[in-house]
Amino acid sequence: MTLKLLVLVLDLGGTFVFALSGATAGVRRRLDLFGVLVLSFVAANSGGIVRDVLIGAVPPAAISDWRYLGVSVLAGLVTFWWAPSIERLSNPVRVFDAAGLALFAVVGANKALAHGLDPVMASLLGMLSGIGGGIMRDILLNEVPLVLRADLYAVAALAGAAVVVAGDRLGLPATAAMCVGALLCFGLRVAAIRYGWGLPVAGSHDKIGTRRDAAARDG
């Protein structure tokens, strides 16, 4: 498989699983069919659109290639009609979201490198293209975006993108670097969901200090 074909497959795969996460979230909020399809498209393509605009790949693939719309609509319809089966999965929204995050992070970093961005900015753009769809999905549902409150969300995307960039700097095969980066991002995100890993939360130090003061008084 050529690198160009691999990037397309990963990009469409990320589009599909992000669309599943958006559609599943829409079904949970009891949106109608149109609302579910809109949410599936937005969740699946916002990150890619932002990525393509920032690197100058315009018009973005999401609106110039019918396959992105087709994949998004397909995922939305599958979720709408077979929602009970999908809901039986463990944390379906977060698992699909983690898969989309991983695929978009590595594709975004690879595309950024191909357009001449330096390693740091390529890693950051990979992270941004990974988190963009989830942010828009949550905003439309009037929720605080996962990236601002979830365990190792942006950090996982940044780690996956950094692997792609590091592989490029070391002269390693891009295919291998993208696969390793995607697996690392997905593994970190799923582990964070399962074990509650996360960064310090605002106010947590005050709570710790309060508990320590109370323990000292009791002692």
Does 207 reside within a domain? no
Asked whether residue 216 is assigned to any structural domain, the reply reads: no
Token representation of residue 114: 């191909």
Residue 142 sits at φ, ψ, to 5 deg, of: 60, 45
Q: Read off the pLDDT of residues 70-117 as tens digits, 9 standing for 90 and up.
A: 999 999 999 999 888 777 776 777 888 888 899 999 999 999 999 999
* DSSP one-letter string for 97-150: HHHHHHHHHHHHHHHHHHTT--HHHHHHHHHHHHHHHHHHHHHHTT---GGGTS
Does residue 61 form part of some domain? yes
Distance from C-alpha of 117 to C-alpha of 29, rounded to nearest angstrom: 40
Section 47-73 average pLDDT: 92
Residue 152 within any structural domain of the chain: yes
CA distances from 84 to 21, 40, 43, 76, 89 (A): 14, 17, 21, 14, 9
pLDDT, one tens digit per residue, over 166-210 is 999 999 999 999 999 999 999 999 998 888 887 777 765 555 444
Is 125 a domain residue?
yes
> Domains in the chain: how many in total?
1
Segments forming the whole domain that contains residue 111: 3-200
Could you tell me if residue 49 is inside a domain?
yes
Q: Is residue 162 part of a domain?
A: yes
- Whether 114 maps to a domain, the answer reads yes
The model carries a pTM of: 0.83
Residue 208: per-residue pLDDT: 47
| C-beta atoms surrounding 3 within 10 Å | 13
**What value does the mean pLDDT take over residues 46-75?**
92
